[in-house]
Every structure is written in structure tokens, then in C-alpha cells.
Amino acid sequence: MRVNELRELTTEELGMRLQETRRAMFNLRQRWYAGSLEDSNRLPAVRKDIARILTLLRERELLEEEEVEKGGTTA
């Protein structure tokens, strides 16, 4: 997943994508432990996708907090 594609998603869509990606990571780990994972390079890629999504969610959370602070200090 590219960051530009993720930035276009809403927060709810990012949350859903995070759940899907974590589920995929779980399945990949199970296959890896069972010895049936064909592409072991997929594990780090999925881990990075999770990190990207979490980073974008955190950025949005900080922006919302900043907006609330700006609105509260002007009153």
C-alpha cells in the first residue's frame, strides 16, 4: 500500500483497513509457523503496512487535538 492511497481514505476506512491487515498478518504468521508460507518477504511488508496505517491514524488524532486546543484558547 502506498501512503498516498492511504491518505485518501477516511478514518473509518483506515480503521477497517487496519483490522484487515492485522488479520492478514495473523494468517501469515500461522502459515509461517506451520511451515507452509511460500513468500516469507510478505511478513515485513505487512508489518510496514500496519505501521503506516497506525502513523496516519496518529497524525489525524494529533491534528484533531490541535484543532480543539485552538478552539478552546480563543474563547
Domains identified in the chain, total number: 1
Average pLDDT, the chain: 92
pLDDT in tens, 12-66: 999 999 999 999 999 999 999 999 999 999 999 999 999 999 999 999 999 999 9
Can you give the pLDDT at residue 44?
Answer: 96
The predicted structure's pLDDT at residue 71 = 84
The pTM is what? Answer: 0.86
- In terms of Cα–Cα distance, which of 42, 45, 22 is closest to 32? 42
Domain CATH for 38 = 1.10.287.310
Is the Cβ–Cβ distance between 68 and 40 less than 8 Å?
no
* Residue-number span of the structural domain to which 56 is assigned: 3-73
